[in-house]
Amino acid sequence: MPTEFKPGCARPTGGPVGEGPAKNAAPKTTIQEKPREASMIKVGKKAPDFTAPAYLKGGFVSVQLSEYLGKWVVLCFYPGDFTFV
């Protein structure tokens, strides 16, 4: 499950796991009308996997969503620490 890491001075970051949106391999002249914005998640479809650094009970750990396969997961986003509600 979550693995501990020693934080350095750089802000630890994570991100999507697996092939993301294909990096523009096509020549620039190709017309690409595809909107850059990711579409909204769909219910009944797989949750995109990601890794993220986390604070957990006194330590810093690295978490990957797919480590939680076999369990129910509630993933909550919020605007920021110390925001009021």
Partner 1 sequence: MSIDSVFVHKMWNDHELSKMVEGGVPYPMLSDAGGKVGTLYGIYDEDAGVETRGRFIIDPDGVVQGYEVLTPPVGRNVAESLRQIQAFQLVRQSKGTEATPSGWKPGKTTLKPGPDLVGKVWEVWKTSMAFD
In the bound state with partner 1, the residue whose beta carbon lies nearer, of 27 and 80, is: 80
In the bound state with partner 1, the residue whose beta carbon lies nearer, of 26 and 76, is: 76
Interaction between residue 64 and partner 1 (CB under 8 A): no
Three-state DSSP class for residue 77: coil
Q: Which two tokens stand for residue 15?
A: 């991100």
Cα separation, 10 vs 20, in Å, equals 24
Chain centre to alpha carbon of residue 26: 26
Question: Binding string, 8-27, against partner 1, x = CB under 8 A?
Answer: ---xxxxxx-----------
Q: How far is the CB of 27 from partner 1 (least distance, A)?
A: 26
Amino acid present at 80 = G
Phi, psi of 68, rounded to the nearest 5 degrees: -100, 10
User: Interface with partner 1 by CB under 8 A: which residues?
Assistant: 2, 7, 11-16, 38-50, 52-57, 60-61, 63, 65-66, 68-83, 85
